[in-house]
């Protein structure tokens, strides 16, 4: 029995509706709608001929037909009944019962046309600025269903006519679909200022809302009103908003500010900054070269190193090699990544970084050495699998040994079968199991035979 079935049983036992469905979660109402038709209160086991109704169900239908008073809990069961005539009759009793409006919304997409029509009439009567806000999540959840567009269109019309202060809670809803709907409405109605849209683009965690609001803010902004918009976008934590602000600098006549973002931590923002400067006639490459030439500068931003690799040439590798000894781990890691971007590798000079104390540097050095892994001494790499070493060193050694292939890979996998790290053990076990499947062809090699026997024993 699912949550909806359990909720239906509690309602049938007399539990009040707010105690069963008081969270406002739209999924709970949809589960109840399905659960009512799946539990024994409603459909006990068949007795041979036709279908026998339970005592609870008979009492409900009798009260409904006679017009006797029903509480919200019993009426909710009737609104979800399998018989369309019962649902239709229950809809006549929902007027003045706001707690049941979620089920009226559900019935607006009912498969029975008479039920659907009556539910839509009831929702049209009841939906206003006050009821639209709490019902919005459920209405928008149902909008994806067949015939779910009526309630969504009705909600759209009500919110467009409502005072802005009544609909403001929708802009801060925890439901992403609701926020998207509310911001689209606000953009179309022009109810938010460019600065307000920019702040939403800077702080919302949904990419759709960020894109919608940043585009709308930049479309409405003018040079005279640009200051608060740029302040919000350029200071945003998310790169989507920052890149929109940087791109807008050109149109707003402030391209020189783009230089402040050439070393941004985001590749997208750096690319936008270079675009703006180039459109203004400024080549960003000398800027990168000048910054990276200061190999001893402790304030060198890692983004400047990556930016040099993104728009430089192989000759610029001469500026990156000294940065492998920079005091900042981020700069060292970006220098290794930059050399790989420029397709410049010196195994001897990069190999020593496998002992770097920063995990990010070891990770980048490993990526740079993978194409040359076969030339690295496998005995030394196997020693790095020692459980006493930091995890990032063991992961690095495993990746390089895996790239060796053949018996070297198998030797490393067997060594890792007892590793304390579950992910490394899982990867190693997969290699050993594959080797056990094809190992019959290579058992003539003594080492392979020994490794397979040990691997089988460790795997049980």
Residue 48 pLDDT: 41
Give the span between the Cα atoms of 305 and 290, in whole angstroms. 11
Residue 456 belongs to some domain of the structure: yes
- The DSSP code sequence of 113-142 is HHHHHHHHHHHHHH-SHHHHHHHHHHHHHH
Give the span between the Cα atoms of 145 and 164, in whole angstroms. 29
CB 344 within 8 A of CB 356: no
Residue 439 pLDDT: 61
Residue 101 belongs to some domain of the structure: yes
Nearest alpha-carbon partner for 340 in 358, 363, 357, 374: 363
Residue 78 belongs to some domain of the structure: yes
Residue 10 belongs to some domain of the structure: yes
Last residue of a domain, one of 98, 126, 154: 126
Q: What is the pLDDT of residues 71-102, one digit of tens each?
A: 898 899 989 988 888 899 899 899 999 999 99
Q: Given pLDDT bands bounded at 50, 70 and 90, which one contains residue 240?
A: very high
- The domain in which residue 10 lies consists of 1-126
Q: Which tokens in the block code for residue 206?
A: 């949904």
Residue 98 pLDDT: 92
What are the distances in angstroms from CA 251 to CA 73, 205, 247?
A: 60, 27, 8
Last residue of a domain, one of 126, 153, 180: 126
CB 158 within 8 A of CB 129: yes
Stretch among 305-309, 434-438, 441-445 having the lowest mean pLDDT? 441-445
Residue 39 pLDDT: 76
Last residue of a domain, one of 103, 126, 149: 126
Q: Given pLDDT bands bounded at 50, 70 and 90, which one contains residue 62?
A: confident
pTM for this structure? 0.80
Q: Given pLDDT bands bounded at 50, 70 and 90, which one contains residue 7?
A: confident
Give the span between the Cα atoms of 263 and 286, in whole angstroms. 13
Residue 385 belongs to some domain of the structure: yes
Q: What is the pLDDT of residues 415-425, one digit of tens each?
A: 999 889 999 99
Residue 182 belongs to some domain of the structure: no
Residue 368 belongs to some domain of the structure: no
Nearest alpha-carbon partner for 28 in 18, 38, 41: 18
Residue 264 belongs to some domain of the structure: no
Q: How many domains does the chain have?
A: 2
Nearest alpha-carbon partner for 43 in 3, 102, 95, 83: 83
Quote the percentage of the chain above a pLDDT of 90.
66
Stretch among 18-32, 327-341, 372-386 having the lowest mean pLDDT? 18-32
* Positive or negative torsion for Cα 37, 40, 43, 49: positive
């Amino acid at each position: 029995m699912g949550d909806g079935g359990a909720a239906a049983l509690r309602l049938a036992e007399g539990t009040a509706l707010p105690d069963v469905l008081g969270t406002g979660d739209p999924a709970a109402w949809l589960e109840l709608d399905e659960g009512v038709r799946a539990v024994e209160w409603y459909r006990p086991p068949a007795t041979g001929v036709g279908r026998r109704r339970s005592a609870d169900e008979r009492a409900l239908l009798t009260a409904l037909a006679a017009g006797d008073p029903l509480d919200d809990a019993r009426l909710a069961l009737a609104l979800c009944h399998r018989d369309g005539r019962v649902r239709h009759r229950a809809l006549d009793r929902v007027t003045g019962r706001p707690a049941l409006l979620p089920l009226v919304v559900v019935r607006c997409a009912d498969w029975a046309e008479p039920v659907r029509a009556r539910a839509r009439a009831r929702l049209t009567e009841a939906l206003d600025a006050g009821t639209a806000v709490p019902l919005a999540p459920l209405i928008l959840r149902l909008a994806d269903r067949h015939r779910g567009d009526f309630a969504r269109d009705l909600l759209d019309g009500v919110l467009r006519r409502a005072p802005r202060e009544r609909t403001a809670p929708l802009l801060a809803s925890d439901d992403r679909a609701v926020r998207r709907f509310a911001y689209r409405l606000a953009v179309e109605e022009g109810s938010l200022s460019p600065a307000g849209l920019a702040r939403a683009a800077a702080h919302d965690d949904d990419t759709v809302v960020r894109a919608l609001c940043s585009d709308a803010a930049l479309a409405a902004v003018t040079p005279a009103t640009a200051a608060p918009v740029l302040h919000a976008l350029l200071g945003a934590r998310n790169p989507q908003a920052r890149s929109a602000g940087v791109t807008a600098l050109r149109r707003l006549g402030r391209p020189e500010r783009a230089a402040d973002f050439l070393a941004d931590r985001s590749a997208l923002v750096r690319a936008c900054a270079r675009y703006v400067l180039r459109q203004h006639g400024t080549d960003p490459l000398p800027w990168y070269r000048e910054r990276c030439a200061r190999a001893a500068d402790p304030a060198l931003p890692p983004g400047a190193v990556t930016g040099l690799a993104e728009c430089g040439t192989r000759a610029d590798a001469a500026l990156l090699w000294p940065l492998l000894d920079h005091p900042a781990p981020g700069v060292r890691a970006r220098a290794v990544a930059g050399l790989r971007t420029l397709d410049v590798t010196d195994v001897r000079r990069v190999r020593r970084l496998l002992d770097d104390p920063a995990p990010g540097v070891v990770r980048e050095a490993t990526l740079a050495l993978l194409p040359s892994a076969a030339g690295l001494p496998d005995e030394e790499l196997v020693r790095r699998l020692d459980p006493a070493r930091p995890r990032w060193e063991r992961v690095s050694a495993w990746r390089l040994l895996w790239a060796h292939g053949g018996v070297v890979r198998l030797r490393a996998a067997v060594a890792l079968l007892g590793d304390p790290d579950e992910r490394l053990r899982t990867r190693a076990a997969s290699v050993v199991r594959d080797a056990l499947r094809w190992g019959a062809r290579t058992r003539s090699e003594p080492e392979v035979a020994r490794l397979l026997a040990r691997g089988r024993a460790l795997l049980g």
